[in-house]
Amino acid sequence: MSAQLQRPDAGRPSLYGDRRRWGLVHADALDLLARLPERSVDAVITDPPYGIGFDGHTWDSGALTDGRAFERWTSSWAREVKRVLRPGGYVAAFGAPRTVHRLVSGIEDTGLEIRDQLLWLYGSGMPKTRHLPHDLGTALKPAYEPILLARAPLKATTTMGNVTRWGVGALDIGATRVRDEVRDVVSLGEVVRRWPANLGLVHSPGCEDRGCEGNCAVREIDAAVGKPVSRYFYAAKASRSEREAGLRELEARSTPIFSGGTTPRANVHPTVKPLAVMRWLARLIAPPHGVVLDPFTGSGSTGCAALLEGRQFLGIEREIEYVEIARRRLDHWARQ
């Protein structure tokens, strides 16, 4: 069990965790990244600020809403990420459709190799706009988020040589193959599964095993095509119980939602990612028992997923209210 939350003093940031499997530091990412040793982490999975002034939050507003400034800021943390990654280590970074080009350029300018861009599709997003007279607005309903996949330069002449030397450099296709529930066959004692794609589908939060909600992306795609093609892609869903697990002792606060009104919740972070999506990323780019770093921990989904997949985790979070949420969630999922 980690220590009780306390504000860091001027000289040393507060550290929580069991010091073996996970640690969470209350600090600014740029300050702490510079203090981490070189080549000390195996993978980075992170959901950094998008630079879109999201709902007026200070961590996503101000200078970051200027495109060029956002790109320079991205390079500043990505440069340190490149330094602390082992050669061939991967980065998976979430972005927003309208600023992802700045994210890509900022990361690429540090010397990290751009390898791919994953599209995470969902049907339950809310338009980030207020209704104007005559049914007007200023934005569309979001239906996908890009996830940039980058890699630190190899230090060997071949990919397998790098994997042998450093333990990283390749994607774990075997651990992330997609099960085809219709066409699964047993061959030589192994279930045949499809090669993972750079497109992911996510169920709506209210979907159940017996059926999907009406606004579920998985259901809509299957209905449009006339057959269950969604089985070819990775699908995940997040429930309220998952987002709030471990937060029983935190007071639920009424939080505004874009559809109007408020909803009481203990996990007040506005962009909580589903654990199944983060677990899939952890299996894809982090070796078993490897160290996963998230410089922008938020409510801790990356760390919870890493622990559930048998990886170690180091998180950094600047905002004190999110540190408390992440600490409790990590405590909870570390015991599962």
Query: Which tens digit of pLDDT belongs to each residue from 113-171?
Result: 999 999 988 877 777 777 899 999 988 888 889 999 999 999 999 999 999 999 999 99
Task: For residue 331, give every residue at least 6 positions away whose Cβ sits within 8 Å of its Cβ, in sequence order, or none.
Answer: 1, 2, 246
The yes-or-no verdict on residue 192 having pLDDT over 70 is: no
Centre a 10 Å sphere on the Cβ of residue 276 and count the other Cβ atoms it contains: 19
Annotation: CATH topology of 14-131+138-334: Rossmann fold (3.40.50)
Q: What is the pTM of this model?
A: 0.85
Q: Are 274 and 125 in contact (CB under 8 A)?
A: no
Query: Does an H or E element contain 35, and which?
Result: none
Dihedral angle of Cα 19, 24, 27, 31, to the nearest 10 degrees = 60
What are the residue ranges spanned by the domains of the chain? 14-131+138-334
Query: What's the confidence (pLDDT) of residue 268?
Result: 55
CA 120 to chain centre: 11
Q: Which of the residue ranges 28-32, 239-243, 289-293 would you say has the lowest mean pLDDT?
A: 239-243
Q: For 30-79, what is each residue's pLDDT tens digit?
A: 999 999 999 999 999 999 998 888 777 777 788 889 999 999 999 999 99
* Average pLDDT across the chain, whole number: 85
